[in-house]
């Protein structure tokens, strides 16, 4: 039986730090509010003009080096992002070119905060079926270019950060990716969304839309919070019961880094002790598709995540989309 496993991982964050105190100078907010409501202390932001594909490239190179795989040996690129360089074409093809990869397929996927778990599933399926040998999955975001750093946009501007992380997957006799479980519920598409530009109107964006700030993301924070808590818990129960595993069997949980209050609430609900989850949103905020692999990559760097351990990534985000996985590292 052919399985897939993660051969290597890497990340990249831009060097510029934007602290809660820096935000206080831009909008009516406070370090205390942001810490209490989210757990975030600072986030990284690019210098203006640095695109998502650049962060994706840096992270991909680090992951390839860690996996000891050359770019020319990659068979498929999957990029998860909600902040592509262009409306089209996607970041995947830009990355194919930057890496100097062969003329391989390059996908962009649009599952926001669940993007990495969805990407993992795609890579796993292509490898299991024997279609491809080496798949690069990248989560990359430049959120800062599209946020409203005024009091009007403060609910989202304080949460999101820029960053990227990538994994390289390859075939294995023993299961690495053991199972992946994916869900969506489009009914709530406008609870966390970016309305404009979009093909539901012609032209796709107007001067009036810009005045009204419709080109900035919008979130119904409390509704998303409520659904996130429920779906995170369901996704963990699903992956554990599917595999006949218990919380005690898992070495580390990797939650999508949306809000420390959500992670704490679920951990209490399910009985996950604090030492079994790896969080870094204090330093990076919510980096959407990059958040889970960014945690995993830092956990590897710090020696917290080691070969042979059993880990559970779990995500929820815009769409709504959510999912979980069980991985033997």
Contact indicator for 296, 163 with CB cutoff of 8 Å: no
How many CB atoms are located within 10 Å of the residue 11 CB? 28
Sign of the dihedral through C-alpha 226, 183, 291, 146 = negative
Among 228, 235, 296, 312, binds ligand UT7 (CB under 6 A): 228
Residue number with the shortest CB distance to ligand UT7?
A: 221
Of the two residues 286 and 297, which places its CB atom closer to ligand UT7 in the complex?
286
Of the two residues 57 and 116, which places its CB atom closer to ligand UT7 in the complex?
116
* 237 in active site: no
Nearest distance in Å: CB 19, ligand UT7: 14
Of the two residues 178 and 224, which places its CB atom closer to ligand UT7 in the complex?
224
Write the interaction track for ligand UT7 spanning residues 154-173; mark x where CB under 6 A is met and - where it is not: xx--x---------------
Among 35, 37, 215, 230, binds ligand UT7 (CB under 6 A): 37
* 259 in active site: no
CA dist 324 and 176 (Å) reads 14
Does residue 59 belong to the site contacting ligand UT7 (CB under 6 A)?
A: no
CA dist 198 and 209 (Å) reads 11
Does residue 113 belong to the site contacting ligand UT7 (CB under 6 A)?
A: yes
Among 17, 221, 238, 304, binds ligand UT7 (CB under 6 A): 221
Q: Which of 256, 279, 280, 312 is catalytic?
A: 256
Nearest distance in Å: CB 37, ligand UT7: 4
Does residue 99 belong to the site contacting ligand UT7 (CB under 6 A)?
A: no
CA dist 96 and 78 (Å) reads 10
Among 225, 238, 264, 309, binds ligand UT7 (CB under 6 A): 225
Q: Which of 11, 20, 62, 113 is catalytic?
A: 113
Of the two residues 153 and 170, which places its CB atom closer to ligand UT7 in the complex?
153
* 113 in active site: yes
**Interface segment toward ligand UT7; rule CB under 6 A; list 59-67, 142-150, 219-227, 300-308:** 219-227
Nearest distance in Å: CB 36, ligand UT7: 9
| H, E, C per residue of the chain | CCEEEEEEEEEECCCCEEEHHHHHCCCCCCHHHHHHHHCCCEEECCCCCCCHHHHHHHHHHHHHHHHCCCHHHCCEEEEECCCCCCCCCCHHHHHHHHHCCCCCCEEEECCHHHHHHHHHHHHHHHHHCCCCCCEEEEEEECCHHHCCCCHHHHHHHCCECCEEEEEEEEEECCCCEEEEEEEECHHHHHHEECCCCCCCCCCCCCHHHHHHCCCCCEECHHHHHHHHHHHHHHHHHHHHHHHCCCHHHCCEEEECCCCHHHHHHHHHHHCCCHHHECCCHHHHCECHHHHHHHHHHHHHHCCCCCCCCEEEEEEEECCCEEEEEEEEC
**Interface segment toward ligand UT7; rule CB under 6 A; list 14-22, 94-102, 118-126, 220-228:** 220-228
Does residue 147 belong to the site contacting ligand UT7 (CB under 6 A)?
A: no
Instruction: Quote the Cα angle for 119-122-123, to 5°.
Output: 90
Residue list 246-285, contact with ligand UT7 (CB under 6 A): 258-259, 262
Count of chain residues binding ligand UT7 (CB under 6 A): 19
Of the two residues 228 and 272, which places its CB atom closer to ligand UT7 in the complex?
228
Residues with catalytic roles = 113, 256, 286
- Residues near ligand UT7, by CB under 6 A: 29, 33, 37-38, 113, 154-155, 158, 221-222, 224-225, 228, 258-259, 262, 286, 316-317
């Amino acid at each position: 039986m052919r399985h897939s496993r993660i051969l290597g991982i890497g990340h990249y964050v831009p060097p510029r730090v934007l602290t809660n105190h820096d935000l206080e100078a831009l909008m009516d907010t406070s370090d205390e509010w942001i810490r209490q409501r989210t757990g975030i202390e600072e986030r990284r932001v690019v210098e203006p003009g640095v695109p998502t594909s650049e962060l994706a490239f840096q992270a991909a190179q680090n992951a390839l080096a860690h996996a000891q795989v050359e770019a020319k040996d990659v068979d498929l690129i999957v990029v998860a992002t909600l902040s592509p360089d262009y409306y089209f074409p996607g970041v995947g093809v830009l990355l194919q070119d930057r890496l100097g990869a062969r003329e391989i397929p390059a996908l962009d996927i649009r599952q926001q905060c669940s993007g990495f778990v969805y990407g993992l599933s795609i890579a796993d399926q292509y490898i299991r079926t024997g279609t491809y040998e080496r798949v690069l999955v990248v989560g990359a975001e430049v959120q800062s270019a599209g946020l409203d750093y005024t009091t009007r946009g403060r609910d989202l501007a304080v949460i999101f950060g820029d960053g990227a992380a990538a994994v390289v997957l390859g075939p294995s006799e023993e299961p690495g990716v053991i199972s992946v479980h994916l869900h969506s519920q489009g009914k709530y598409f406008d609870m966390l969304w970016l309305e404009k530009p979009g093909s539901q109107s012609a032209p796709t964006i107007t001067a009036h839309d810009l005045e009204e700030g419709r080109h900035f993301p919008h979130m119904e924070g409390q509704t998303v919070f409520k659904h996130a808590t429920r779906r995170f818990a369901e996704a963990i129960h699903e992956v554990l019961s599917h595999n006949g595993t218990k919380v005690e069997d898992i070495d580390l949980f990797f939650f999508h880094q949306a809000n420390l209050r959500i992670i704490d609430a679920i951990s209490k609900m399910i009985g996950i002790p604090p030492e079994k989850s790896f969080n870094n949103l204090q330093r990076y905020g919510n980096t959407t598709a990059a958040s889970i692999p960014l945690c995993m990559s830092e956990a590897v760097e710090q020696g917290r995540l080691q070969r042979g351990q059993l880990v559970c990534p779990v995500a929820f985000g815009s769409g709504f989309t959510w999912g979980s996985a069980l991985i033997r590292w």
